[in-house]
Amino acid sequence: MTDTLISLLSILIGIIGGNSTGIFFKKYSFGLIGNTIAGVFGSVFFIKSIGRLGFSPQAIMETGSVNSNLFVLNSLVSFCGGLVAVILLSKLAAKFNKSNKIN
């Protein structure tokens, strides 16, 4: 059951990833709200798809205790999910509309 908690932690890390991207790469930022939303969907997408390679929340808890290596990998991928989502969305938004800022 701890895998459910890990999936929530992944999303929080994705939110941090999305907002960190917004802070360090201002040209991609959507503001706090936009970066947070992008972070959530980016981390969910990455973990649901790439996580199947062996570091999904279920795989982390497969032996009954937390596999810390897989957990770190999961966290890194979640962070990257948030980061990539902000960058991709900002490029997409730029194509759609010249002045979008969700804050």
Partner 1 sequence: MFKNKNMEDMIFYDRLQFAFTITFHYIFPQLTMGLSLMIVYFKWKYLRTKLEKFNNAAKFFMKIFAVNFTMGVVTGIPMEFQFGTNWAKFSELTGGIIGQTLAMEGMFSFFLESSFLALFIFGEKLMGQKLHLLTGFLVFLGSWASGYFILATNAWMQHPVGYEILENGKFVLNNFSALFSNPWLLPAFLHNQFASVVTSSFVVAAIGAFYVLRNKNMEYGKLFLKTGIIFGFVSSIIVAVPTGDWNAKNVAKYQPATFAAMEGIFETEEAGAEIILIGQPNMLEKKIDNKIAVPNILSFLTYQDWNKQIPGMDQFKEEELPDNIPALYYSYHIMVGLGTIFIGLMGLALFFLWRKKLYTMNTLLWAIMFAFPFPYIANTTGWYVAELGRQPYLVYGLLKTVDGISPTVSSGNTLFTLLGFVGLYMLLGLLFLVLVGKTIYKGPETQTH
Which stretches of the chain bind partner 1, using CB under 8 A?
1-5, 7-9, 11-12, 15, 32-33, 36-37, 40-41, 44, 92-93, 96-98, 100, 102-103
Cα separation, 40 vs 66, whole angstroms: 23
Assigned token pair, 11: 């999303």
Tokens 């009954």 locate to 64
CB 60 within 8 A of CB 74: yes
Q: What are phi and psi of 45, to 5 degrees?
A: -65, -45
Which residue number, 36 or 75, has a Cβ lying nearer to partner 1? Answer: 36
Taking the complex as a whole, the smallest distance from the CB of residue 75 to partner 1 amounts, in Å, to: 14
Taking the complex as a whole, the smallest distance from the CB of residue 15 to partner 1 amounts, in Å, to: 7
Which residue number, 26 or 98, has a Cβ lying nearer to partner 1? Answer: 98
Cα separation, 47 vs 63, whole angstroms: 19
Taking the complex as a whole, the smallest distance from the CB of residue 76 to partner 1 amounts, in Å, to: 19
